[in-house]
Amino acid sequence: MTVKVDYLAVGRRKREQRSALIPAKWRLSEEAGRTLPVTSTPETCGRLSRREVEITSRYDAVELQSKIRTRELSAEETTLAFCKRAAIAQQVTNCLTEIFFEQALTRARGLDAEQAARPERPLRPLHGLPISLKDSFRIPGVDSTVGLICYANRPDTKYSELPQLLLDLGAVLFCKTNVPQTMMTADSDNNVFGRTLNPTNTSLTAGGSSGGEGALVAMRGSILGVGTDVAGSIRIPSICNGIYGFKPSADVIPWGDQADVVPMGIPGICPVAGPTATSARSCAFFMETIMRAEAWRYDASCLHLRWSGAMIPPQLKIGVVYNDGMFTPWPPIRRVLTESVAKLIKAGIEIVPIALPHVPEAVSTTYQLYSVDGSQASCYRVDRGDLAKLTI
């Protein structure tokens, strides 16, 4: 039975609540967000001090973590800088869902106090490092709507496994980021928070389903975030926004207790969590840190794999797919692919063309698995609030 919900009113209230959590001093003038591309807005809008611009613009996660550990930067001033820049990014790209800046600053101050009180004590691997999260990760006190009206105003009471692990490693969690309705499309638009815009060109998509992460990291409102991926949900926003993203193998990074359209998962389909970042080494840093932390102690589905370092053979070999048998890339994409291959060959890397003969069959099987229940779970949740306007 369809439950009648004023989805427009629910979405409007959620957006108003989100806006109210941005301090007045951090809000932009109407003119500030009109200068394109908006990637330059944080440096030109006058809301960040020179030091805050440096903190958020100059370093990747690896170098920033080093400076926090050596007390060149405090956790509090670092967190404040990224909270302010994330607020700016939100106002020009609509990339955030849930904001918990005050809680983040309180935690950062506590970490600084711990470090000052016991300077001889070894610091945790992610001590004081601000990290953003995709909306599907549960944080106590805030919603995990995953773009669905029916999940609005139902704050979580506990952490998902990965956020809990990140906190235990010393991280500072400060915001969650936007996704598509049901998290099953490549454009992050929904009836709760609206569409996330691409910071380089706001007339283009930021991708999905981790599109909020893609836009936020591109704006450097976060330099290390966590997305999820089953069919490109980290990789698509990464290429759309010009950032780095990595989809790990299944069952390496804790996945458990996330909000989802199908709570029990999809048989045969293995979604994963992974990093979005401003550098490749930041992605490696994230993977190494999580794998060294014995992630299976947090999520029993994780494999007992420890970080073994990069095993690069003397002669690096890379496979290249020029055509998947279903779709021919557009000329600009083919040109970039050809130029990239030429540069790899020049660097001494062996290129192996790869044919993918069974893509149509694989795609057909995958879509059957996606809808193995006849999509009843997805339709039920949409029917409870979003039926009047589908965004998928």
Sequence-distant (6+) residues with CB within 8 A of 172 are 75, 79, 104, 107, 108, 111, 128, 129, 130, 131
Domain architecture of the chain: domains with CATH: 8-309 (3.90.1300.10)
Task: Identify whether 57 is a catalytic site residue.
Answer: no
pLDDT, tens digit (0-9, with 9 covering 90-100), for 128-154:
999 999 999 999 999 999 999 999 999
CA-to-CA dists, residue 299 to 21, 146, 254, 289, 293, angstroms: 32, 21, 5, 16, 12
Task: Identify whether 209 is a catalytic site residue.
Answer: yes
* Residue-level pLDDT at 366: 87
Is there a contact between 302 and 290 (Cβ–Cβ < 8 Å)?
no
Backbone angles phi and psi of 275, in degrees to 5: -85, 150
DSSP classification of residue 181: G
What crossing angle do the helices spanning 50-58 and 75-93 adopt, rounded to 10°? Answer: 80
CA-to-CA dists, residue 123 to 61, 255, 272, angstroms: 16, 26, 28
* Residue-level pLDDT at 19: 98
The whole-angstrom separation of Cα 301 and Cα 316 is 32
Query: Nearest to residue 128, comparing CAs of 168, 66, 170, 173?
Result: 170
Q: Which of 74, 132, 144, 209 is catalytic?
A: 209
The whole-angstrom separation of Cα 162 and Cα 58 is 27
The whole-angstrom separation of Cα 30 and Cα 28 is 6
* Beta-bridge mates of residue 350: 317
Kindly write down the DSSP assignment for every residue of 212-269, as one continuous string.
HHHHHHHTTS-SEEEEEESSSTTHHHHHHHT-EE--PPTTSS---S---SSTT--TT-
pTM: 0.94
The letter for the amino acid at 330 is W
> Is the C-alpha dihedral spanning 320, 323, 327, 333 positive or negative?
positive
DSSP classification of residue 319: E
Q: Which of 233, 238, 282, 378 is catalytic?
A: 233
Backbone angles phi and psi of 156, in degrees to 5: -75, 160
For residue 116 the two structure tokens come to 């000052």
Q: Are strands 224-229 and 130-134 parallel, antiparallel or unpaired?
A: parallel
Q: Which of 14, 134, 176, 247 is catalytic?
A: 134
What crossing angle do the helices spanning 61-69 and 75-93 adopt, rounded to 10°? Answer: 150
The whole-angstrom separation of Cα 65 and Cα 70 is 9
Query: Where do we find the tokens 């936020």?
Result: 216
Task: Identify whether 84 is a catalytic site residue.
Answer: no
Mean pLDDT, each 10-residue run in order, the chain (392 residues): 78 98 96 88 97 99 98 99 99 99 99 96 98 99 96 97 99 99 94 98 97 99 98 97 98 94 70 98 98 97 90 89 92 96 97 93 88 71 65 62
* Residue-level pLDDT at 368: 86
pLDDT, tens digit (0-9, with 9 covering 90-100), for 189-212:
999 999 999 999 999 999 999 999
CA angle 381, 386, 387 (to 5 degrees): 95
Is there a contact between 212 and 96 (Cβ–Cβ < 8 Å)?
yes
CA angle 175, 272, 94 (to 5 degrees): 30
